[in-house]
């Protein structure tokens, strides 16, 4: 053991208390991104007394590490109390004057901890990082003053990241509001093939001949094309920015995240900067983002490119519209993993395109919003890099 390192088991103890009176109903799960999240389990009619209780300042982790890829599901509870599955191990710090829960939580977020836990996991059917192995973890335990300082710095960085995320969410909401205001004077109902006009009394059905002559009904395929540029599989692609479908962000206009190069074991396609990425499987239909870089993704993602580059914002917001997503959902195929298709599906979706004058003004406004979003995403990227450097430096704190 390094001189400044301590055995974690000397600072923690396991806590296993059942929700015997079923008084707590807030059921949580633990993400491998190191936070608690609402459980997706249906607990209607379930006996809640079988679950474990967990209180503020306590930890829970999933000892079965073979299910999570390279990360361990572990988190510190910051709210008052909750219940978790008995499959989780719950524990607490014995003395907060020697080790802060928030400081320990930082240690668990280090990639080095995940690698250590995966390496130390054992078992033939399932690989398990058991309680004994958790207690054998070694880490530096500096003075409480230094622990507080490090926690404060990282908390401040995270607060700034959260503020930027809120701004980005707000930009998207504003862009959607502008789209509704400028594009929804007329609405084409793709289910009934009828046209409606927005009025003070709601939607009123009208004939196509009654539409402003400068407006026109178009299909998505008339304004955007699907790009299918295949990437050869079976070779290493470490120099490419790889975007799996699950990291295309929800409720964001701009994609800025990626996973560094990987071996291509499945069907991959390339995309370019300013292409629009849209999840083709039902659970990902609502993930629509404009790429801020070129890279590769799976064929389960639509790569869409405006036919007229000046109409980029129009195309992006038309695809990000709730009515478009609803159409994709209702016209999906398959039962196990429903998906939508392009040529015989979403490409035929119709919208009513405003006049060129309206679109020019609209595109200019949305471009400003996209620029603001890119600025904030770049800021988040730099803050995350700083955060990762601080995580690395935790090992050298005396």
What mean pLDDT is reported for the chain? Answer: 89
Q: Which of 272, 269, 273 is nearest to 232 (CA)?
A: 269
Give me the domain span that covers residue 127: 5-141
Q: Which pLDDT does position 251 carry in this prediction?
A: 78
DSSP 46: -
Q: Which pLDDT does position 196 carry in this prediction?
A: 94
Q: Does residue 183 sit in the same domain as residue 130?
A: no
Total domains present in the chain = 2
Determine which of 90-94, 108-112, 119-123, 386-390 has the lowest per-residue pLDDT on average. Answer: 119-123
Q: Does residue 16 sit in the same domain as residue 97?
A: yes
Pick from 356, 374, 392: which residue ends a domain? 356
Q: Is residue 154 part of a domain?
A: no
Q: Which of 171, 269, 188 is nearest to 222 (CA)?
A: 188
Q: Is residue 166 part of a domain?
A: no
- DSSP codes, 133-179: HHHT-EEE---HHHHHHHHHHHHHHHHHHHHHHHHHHHHHHHHHHHH
Q: Does residue 52 sit in the same domain as residue 95?
A: yes
Condensed to tens digits (0 to 9), the pLDDT of residues 105-160 reads 999 999 899 999 989 988 767 889 999 999 999 999 999 999 999 999 999 999 99
Condensed to tens digits (0 to 9), the pLDDT of residues 248-296 reads 888 788 887 777 766 555 678 899 999 999 988 877 878 899 998 898 8
Determine the average pLDDT of the residues in 310-331: 92
- Give percent of the chain above pLDDT 70: 95
Would you say residue 394 has pLDDT above 80?
yes
Q: Does residue 121 sit in the same domain as residue 229?
A: no
Q: Which pLDDT does position 163 carry in this prediction?
A: 96
Would you say residue 308 has pLDDT above 80?
yes
Q: Is residue 381 part of a domain?
A: no
User: Phi-psi category of 334—alpha, beta or left, where left has phi over 0 and alpha has psi -120 to 50?
Assistant: left
Q: Please give the backbone phi and psi of residue 296, each rounded to the nearest 5 degrees, phi first.
A: -130, 155
Condensed to tens digits (0 to 9), the pLDDT of residues 15-58 reads 999 999 999 999 999 988 899 998 877 778 889 999 999 999 99
Would you say residue 1 has pLDDT above 60?
no
Q: Is residue 383 part of a domain?
A: no
Q: Does residue 244 sit in the same domain as residue 309?
A: yes
Q: Which of 19, 77, 87 is nearest to 53 (CA)?
A: 19
- DSSP codes, 324-366: HHHHHHHT-B-SSS-B--TTTTGGG-EEEE--HHHHHHHHHHH
Q: Does residue 115 sit in the same domain as residue 51?
A: yes
Determine the average pLDDT of the residues in 383-398: 86
Q: Which pLDDT does position 69 carry in this prediction?
A: 67
Q: Is residue 373 part of a domain?
A: no
Q: Is residue 18 part of a domain?
A: yes
Q: Is residue 127 part of a domain?
A: yes
Q: Which pLDDT does position 14 carry in this prediction?
A: 97
Q: Is residue 42 part of a domain?
A: yes
Alpha-carbon span 352 to 342, nearest angstrom: 19
Q: Does residue 330 sit in the same domain as residue 202?
A: yes
Pick from 95, 125, 141: which residue ends a domain? 141
Q: Does residue 181 sit in the same domain as residue 107?
A: no
Q: Does residue 217 sit in the same domain as residue 350?
A: yes
Q: Does residue 272 sit in the same domain as residue 222?
A: yes
Q: Does residue 340 sit in the same domain as residue 205?
A: yes
Helix (H) or strand (E) holding 7: strand 5-7
Determine the average pLDDT of the residues in 354-360: 95
CATH for 64: 3.90.220.20
pTM: 0.79
Condensed to tens digits (0 to 9), the pLDDT of residues 188-244 reads 999 899 999 998 888 999 999 999 999 999 999 999 999 988 876 655 566 778 888
| Tokens of residue 385, six digits | 């890099």
Distance, CA of 110 to chain centre: 19
Q: Does residue 328 sit in the same domain as residue 197?
A: yes
Q: Which pLDDT does position 265 carry in this prediction?
A: 58
Q: Give me the torsion for CA of 310, 359, 198, 328, rounded to 10°.
A: 0
């Amino acid at each position: 053991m390094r001189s400044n390192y301590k055995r974690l088991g000397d600072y923690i103890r396991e806590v296993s208390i059942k929700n015997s009176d079923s008084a707590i109903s807030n059921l949580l799960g633990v993400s491998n991104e190191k936070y608690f999240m609402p459980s997706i389990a249906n607990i209607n009619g379930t006996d809640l007394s079988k679950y474990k209780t967990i209180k503020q300042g306590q930890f829970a982790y999933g000892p079965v590490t073979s299910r999570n890829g390279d990360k361990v599901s572990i988190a510190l509870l910051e709210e008052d109390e909750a219940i978790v599955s008995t499959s989780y191990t719950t524990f607490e710090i014995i003395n907060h004057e020697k080790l802060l829960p928030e400081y320990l939580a930082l240690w668990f977020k280090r990639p080095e901890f995940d690698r250590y836990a995966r390496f130390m996991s054992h078992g033939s059917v399932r690989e398990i990082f058991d309680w004994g192995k958790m207690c054998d973890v070694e880490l530096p335990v500096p003075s409480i003053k230094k622990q507080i300082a490090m926690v404060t710095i990282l908390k401040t960085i995270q607060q700034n990241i959260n503020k930027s995320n809120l701004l980005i969410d707000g930009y998207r909401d504003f862009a959607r509001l502008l789209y509704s205001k400028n594009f929804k004077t007329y609405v084409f109902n793709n289910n009934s093939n009828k046209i409606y006009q927005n009025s003070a009394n709601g939607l009123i059905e009208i004939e196509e001949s009654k539409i402003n002559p400068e407006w026109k009904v178009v299909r998505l395929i008339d304004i955007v094309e699907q790009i299918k540029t295949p990437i050869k599989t079976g070779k290493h692609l470490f120099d490419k920015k790889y975007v799996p479908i699950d990291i295309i962000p929800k409720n964001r206009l701009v994609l800025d995240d990626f996973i560094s190069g990987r071996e291509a074991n499945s069907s991959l396609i390339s995309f370019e900067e300013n292409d629009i990425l849209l999840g083709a499987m039902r659970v990902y239909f609502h993930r629509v983002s404009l790429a801020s870089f070129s890279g590769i993704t799976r064929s389960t993602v639509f790569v869409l490119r405006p036919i007229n580059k000046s109409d980029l914002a129009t195309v992006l917001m038309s695809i990000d519209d709730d009515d478009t997503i609803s159409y994709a959902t209702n016209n999906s195929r398959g039962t196990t993993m429903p998906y939508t298709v392009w040529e015989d599906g979403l490409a035929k979706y119709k919208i009513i395109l405003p006049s060129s004058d309206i679109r020019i003004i609209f595109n200019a406004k949305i471009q400003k919003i996209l620029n603001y979003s890119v600025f904030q995403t770049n800021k988040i990227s730099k803050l995350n890099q700083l955060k990762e450097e601080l995580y690395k430096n935790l090992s050298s704190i005396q």
